[in-house]
Structure 1
Amino acid sequence: MQIFQILKEAGAVGEHRAMTSKELMHRTGLTRRGLVRRVNRERKRHFICSTTSGDGGYYRPDSRADIQRFLDGQEQLIKRHAVSMRLARRLMRRPSND
């Protein structure tokens, strides 16, 4: 069964009703990594939000505010990754001493 369908049937609508990764892993038999892969695949067709607050988890958006919070979180994640990549890029521009 698809993650989106599980969330729909469980009433996981809105961040406050998010279904934990642990519960989804139990229901699907997937590992955490497998669950993340499946969610990322399904996000090509369905909008699935995620949260790290509380126990974290996945949910269907209840409002535009849910979607905006999800976007804000994703943008912060992208910024943190960009910062962590700067030093690596700088080091790669240096001449190699191999």
Structure 2
Amino acid sequence: MPDYFSPVLPPENETALLERARQLAGFTLGELALRAGLTIPPDLRRDKGWVGMLLERYLGASAGSKPEQDFAEIGVELKTIPIDAQGRPLETTFVCVAPL
């Protein structure tokens, strides 16, 4: 990954999105924020949406703050959850779909 951030176009399909996500593996949130030119909030427990926003920038999400899927073109919504050092979830999370 280069030492600077370039805006990313939305992925063409789920495979491209997954590949982008794999390329982020191993980087800390601090490293990603630095490359994107973003300041990390002092308390991520209070700014829970910040991590998702950071990842959306790198993955090419197109929705921004609009009430639609993050990757509307391919029908994918990004969800982030806090994990411990072993990768175990720190809170119970329920994901439901109610197509209208």
Q: TM-score, normalised by structure 2?
A: 0.33
Q: Judging by fraction of residues, say which structure has more strand.
A: 1
Q: Judging by fraction of residues, say which structure has more helix.
A: 1
Larger radius of gyration: 1
Say which structure, 1 or 2, has more relative contact order (CA 8 Å, 6+ apart): 1
